[in-house]
Structure 1
């Protein structure tokens, strides 16, 4: 997978993303934001904001910056920022952000880890722009060890470029490769097939 394949895949998804994935992923979005523990005036980064479905869930007293590599997804996300000066969007590669060090109090990463070509590079950038001791929240699909889900993941593997994400991705490897202080992990969404990670920035 590379950036151009991702942009192409999400150009196809953009117009129908909310209808197809809105309800399916809603529990995970709400669970993540519900655990963030905001304080008034905090600055929040959402990596891979997509069509902006999560933006209305944040409290008004915090500032939210949403980034995405897909201009087509961001075009739809504008619907959730009109008239709200505390919400902004930027076309940006999560693996190479233009923000200064320690720019954000908290970072949310929803359904992105298996999309980017180099997840470790993205997480390195997230740790850089998040304040030391700040909170990082990730929700994503990780590989399922049970027979039927694993068979489905195997069948989907050759089509990862077309799908725009990796069907198989190890949670254990992800945590081992990224120096995060994990506070909590819990299952979310249908059948608990996705995992929510709350971590603290050790940088």
Structure 2
């Protein structure tokens, strides 16, 4: 089953499943990272629209996702927001001109894109030269014990939602040609990070 099919299937209960971690951790990280953005913002992998409430009214936000089920949920959350546009689109093949956006945002999505480096190269392409990538992501820990636990859990997560917990996302961002300007550990040692990078 493809990653898209898995997310379509789980979209009905996705917010419910993630509610505890959203309340305890993700929500405050999202608010801090997104509430001051301005200009043209692209969110890749908008999912059910968890980030939408944190974008300021002055930002022109375009959110893309390749799961119709997840996007349907996001559309409901964006209904009264004139500054938000949501599109069905694959992050690896984006239909935007070069140098379009001031910011590209990813939150907990680079673990599930089949070819994350390809998608990141697309993000770099559509960013303005003065733009910035903002990523909240989870990844493989450099701590051997934590990494071993991730290795054990990874097959289940991959089967359920196509989520690869063992990716080295920092290196993938560099491989795509970005220059990292901030790499901040958020929780569970170095599993959850906030990353800012320039094209």
Q: TM-score, normalised by structure 2?
A: 0.88
Aligned with residue 60 of structure 2, among 49, 63, 76: 63
Structure-1 separation of matches of 2:192 and 2:9: 23
Q: Which runs of 5+ in 2 are unaligned?
A: none
Aligned with residue 103 of structure 2, among 102, 106, 110: 106
Structure 2 residue aligned with 1:43: 40
Is the CA contact (8 Å cut-off) linking 2:40 and 2:103 kept in structure 1? yes
Alignment deviations for residues 135-175 of structure 1 (CA, whole Å, 9 cap, x no partner): 11111111113344222221234342433111201245324
Q: TM-score, normalised by structure 1?
A: 0.87
Q: Which runs of 5+ in 1 are unaligned?
A: none
SS in 2 for 1:53: coil
Q: CA deviation at 1:113?
A: 0.9
Structure 1 residue aligned with 2:139: 142
Mapping for residues 180-195 of structure 1, pairs under 5 Å:
180-189=178-187, 193-195=191-193
Q: CA deviation at 1:189?
A: 4.7
Alignment deviations for residues 52-107 of structure 1 (CA, whole Å, 9 cap, x no partner): 01101000011101000100000000122113221110000000000111111111
Structure-1 separation of matches of 2:159 and 2:45: 18
Structure 2 residue aligned with 1:163: 161
Let me know the Cα RMSD of the aligned residues: 1.9
Q: CA deviation at 1:133?
A: 1.8
Aligned length: 194
Q: Which structure is higher in RCO with an 8 Å CA cutoff and minimum separation 6?
A: 1
